[in-house]
Chains A and B, each alone.
Chain A
């Protein structure tokens, strides 16, 4: 057992966990942040994607101890109060989700994609960049639309700030 201290969604948190605990289980089982999901055992599906220090990572493939001292952002931490993150809003407005299970990881990856490309995205790039997130419902058509839409919205939001 170790005490793991880190920042999650802006708040300092601490948890006593077995050393074999994965970050995703720390979030889900110890911090009750159940928006981050587990969809596979092989680091493929991306349902568990969160940001560690601003970068999208698969929280099923990170030990809780590896995240100690880091700042973790989950799907629960991206809206500002009642105001949705532009990526969340774009997923809703473009019908970029159906069952919702892959959605949190998809949104966290998509935000990271827009950040890394400074909002300069085309369909082909978005499709390639979504390689690590599997959705079984949407055929990706509306997810791609949502990401492109959000890239525009995030640019506008950034310009306004």
Chain B
């Protein structure tokens, strides 16, 4: 590895603009003649709109327009869609209700937009919004899963009787039931996977501009995948034709899944910019983020695990109810099904698995992918069961896991996934060593003698990422392919631009992607630029989510690089009068092996563009593109162990130590990889200890600000001890697996396992707040 090549902890190129306040986020952009939008949102969880009177608002200072849901329907703007079709066990398709960008008739969650005011300033828009009179007829609401599935419950959508969207199954029910019948021991758990709010620190925002003579729209928006946004806005929402719409996602302040989706506000901003003939800006505030960004998780699960007399797992049976909220968000249907139940085998050899997932509508914010998306829920089920089983069977939790680890690869699980490679024992060993697992009993005893409750919790997670082989996901109902694209442009002076369909919103692509080029060509990363986030600049691409940018996006760049190198070698060979096969690339030079003859990259590039002396028949220029479609998912895995101490008097848990041993395959930039793990761990720990959405019985969101929704802060978290074990991913040439979601997937079970171990009581739901822990201890 060179100092800037693959494997080097290169300091990030993009940092300078962020640390000097020169980042350019959507809200930083001002356009000439720009107006400001403020949405009028439903205060009710479920209601009919009787009337909307905009006449007084129209007379308010600075108001340019007031637009309603009926107008957006009248203009034939399409309803929001869910892009992944799921088929119920009875063979019927999923039951999707209509979701207009602004509600014309019925509102189904608090915060749903019903109208928008466009005005010269943000304050004027908000002032005028108070003068819009909306008359509602309140309807009874169902704020959670249990209320939604009760017989006779209020119905949200006529399309979905009983509020059930689908009742989906995976695995072999008969074989699994048989495994339970012959089991020596059965462990069962009821699990609530708490609802979370992603809360990227930058609120969502959009600026839309319509160029009337060109009939062309530009949208600046906080997106993880601007091309997908353009495709959906044009193909499904009828706002503009694809070639008449440019979507730009500039610096984006975090996403965690929540900025994958195309939301009503972006649609309305685009539509309104044409209606009012002025650019329209909308910047959400934090309350709007709580009320409209897709939430995550929210499962109720009953899970059972069967063991034989040797403590080998023989079966796993899971029934999960998933809350999808008031409407089906873009990928909502896939999260509790193909991103969840397909990972229920965990790291273990489980011959029989059967899972049933029933997704329901409730009068809450739509739920979709949030960091990990289905896989944290699966990992939590499996790892809580393993821990509970160890306690019930009176065996060491680490050893019970080890006994059941998959050790032969490839391994086909009973739930679709074919694990390509891994060494689960190695990561468990590394984590146990890092935390001195062997010395825990003595530490616990010492803590006890000092009146303190100490516990240790293990979590061995696996995830499927590098999402995803297009053919495979297509056969499972996905509406899109999940390949990635790249273009490598070597400029006439030898500098290089990489155009990628991936999008960086904190992941460091502007550095790591350059490291690949430095590694291949031996040029400094300062000579390389990464271009992303603008549909006018970059060829169609699928964006960043599901820990896919290295495994899929970077591999696409590698494929394009290979083409560039092949052509450059031909040019160099021709210029140096050598055989193409003798050309080697070293330190930015094309050398004839075994001689002192060489040509620097800029000279090769110049030759390509002057085209004065190219091999016969060769096209001028040095620019190549590639599309890469992975052949399989990648399977990052690892072991997390956490040691906690609980203050019995207050129920407050504090960290003694948290260790993580991950296998991500090859690391491009270890510093950045570790940063991704830290962030993921914080979100997993946040779920376990702090975060949780609460709606009251009428569907009002009680946790609608940072005053009530507990975000992890610096003093809530420990410093983490990370290590890596490595099995190279055989599915892609770089051997990478992806690291963006691991922490969020594996951490929460480790924390809950540690606290329940400390307090000697397994009945504890997330978030394990001091109040809940205290009640678990004291009854």
A residues contacting B by CB (< 8 A) are 18, 20, 28, 33-42, 44-45, 47, 74-76, 79, 84, 88, 91-93, 95, 97-104, 107, 123, 126-128, 130-131, 133-144
A33 touching B253, Cβ below 8 Å? no
B254 at the interface (CB under 8 A from A): yes
A40 touching B286, Cβ below 8 Å? yes
Query: Which segment, of B8-16, B150-158, B470-478, B571-579, faces chain A?
Result: B8-16
Q: How far is the CA of A37 from the CA of B15 in the complex (A)?
A: 16
B63 at the interface (CB under 8 A from A): no
- Given A100-B506, A142-B678, residue A42 in contact with residue B705 (CB < 8 A): yes
Contacts of A98 in B (CB 8 A): 254, 506-508, 675, 679
Provide 20 A-B residue pairs closer than 8 Å at the C-beta atoms, listed in order of the A residue. Answer: A37-B25, A40-B705, A41-B287, A42-B286, A44-B705, A45-B201, A75-B19, A95-B671, A99-B200, A99-B202, A99-B252, A100-B18, A100-B23, A101-B25, A102-B201, A133-B714, A136-B200, A136-B254, A140-B717, A144-B714
CB closest chain-A residue, reference B28:
A34
B20 touching A88, Cβ below 8 Å? yes
B123 at the interface (CB under 8 A from A): yes
B202 touching A92, Cβ below 8 Å? no
Q: How far is the CA of A59 from the CA of B403 in the complex (A)?
A: 56
Residue of A42, A91, A134 touching B19 (CB-CB under 8 A): A91
Contact residues of B between 199 and 216, Cβ < 8 Å to A: 199-203
A53 to chain B, nearest CB (A): 20
CB closest chain-B residue, reference A87:
B19
- Given A92-B15, A93-B11, A134-B711, residue A139 in contact with residue B23 (CB < 8 A): no
- Contacts A34-B24, A35-B23 known; list 13 others, CB within 8 Å: A35-B22, A42-B286, A98-B508, A99-B200, A100-B19, A100-B23, A100-B253, A104-B18, A127-B714, A135-B201, A141-B717, A142-B675, A143-B714
Contacts of A138 in B (CB 8 A): 675, 678-679, 682
B679 touching A41, Cβ below 8 Å? no
CB closest chain-A residue, reference B289:
A40
Contacts of B24 in A (CB 8 A): 34
A33 to chain B, nearest CB (A): 7
Q: Is the interface of A mostly helix, strand, loop or mixed?
A: loop
Contact residues of B between 656 and 700, Cβ < 8 Å to A: 671-672, 674-675, 678-683
B720 touching A139, Cβ below 8 Å? yes
Q: How far is the CA of A138 from the CA of B506 in the complex (A)?
A: 9
A101 touching B21, Cβ below 8 Å? no
Contacts of B683 in A (CB 8 A): 136, 139
A74 to chain B, nearest CB (A): 7
Q: How far is the CA of A107 from the CA of B23 in the complex (A)?
A: 14
CB closest chain-B residue, reference A91:
B19
Q: How far is the CA of A126 from the CA of B719 in the complex (A)?
A: 12
CB closest chain-A residue, reference B18:
A100
Number of A-B contacts (CB under 8 A): 182
B residues contacting A by CB (< 8 A) are 11-12, 14-25, 27-28, 123, 198-203, 251-254, 256, 285-287, 505-508, 671-672, 674-675, 678-683, 705-707, 711-715, 717, 719-720, 743
- Given A74-B21, A98-B508, A144-B719, residue A92 in contact with residue B12 (CB < 8 A): yes
Q: How far is the CA of A143 from the CA of B705 in the complex (A)?
A: 24
A39 touching B202, Cβ below 8 Å? yes
- Given A134-B711, A143-B714, residue A92 in contact with residue B201 (CB < 8 A): no
A13 to chain B, nearest CB (A): 16
A100 touching B251, Cβ below 8 Å? yes
Contacts of A34 in B (CB 8 A): 21, 24-25, 27-28
CB closest chain-B residue, reference A84:
B19
- Given A35-B21, A39-B286, residue A137 in contact with residue B715 (CB < 8 A): no
CB closest chain-B residue, reference A35:
B21
Residue of B19, B23, B252, B714 touching A88 (CB-CB under 8 A): B19
CB closest chain-A residue, reference B288:
A41
Contacts of A143 in B (CB 8 A): 714
Contacts of B198 in A (CB 8 A): 136
CB closest chain-B residue, reference A147:
B714
Most buried by B among A38, A95, A123, A142: A95
B393 to chain A, nearest CB (A): 34
A76 touching B286, Cβ below 8 Å? no
A44 touching B254, Cβ below 8 Å? no
B678 touching A103, Cβ below 8 Å? no
Q: How far is the CA of A126 from the CA of B423 in the complex (A)?
A: 37
B19 touching A92, Cβ below 8 Å? yes
Q: How far is the CA of A125 from the CA of B719 in the complex (A)?
A: 13
Contacts of A95 in B (CB 8 A): 11-12, 671-672, 674-675
CB closest chain-B residue, reference A32:
B30
- Given A42-B705, A93-B11, A101-B254, residue A79 in contact with residue B675 (CB < 8 A): no
Top 6 A-B pairs ranked by shortest CB distance?
A35-B21, A101-B253, A100-B18, A139-B682, A99-B506, A75-B21
B295 to chain A, nearest CB (A): 15
Contacts of B674 in A (CB 8 A): 95
CB closest chain-A residue, reference B14:
A100
A99 touching B20, Cβ below 8 Å? no
Contacts of B705 in A (CB 8 A): 40-42, 44
Q: How far is the CA of A82 from the CA of B199 in the complex (A)?
A: 33
B680 to chain A, nearest CB (A): 8
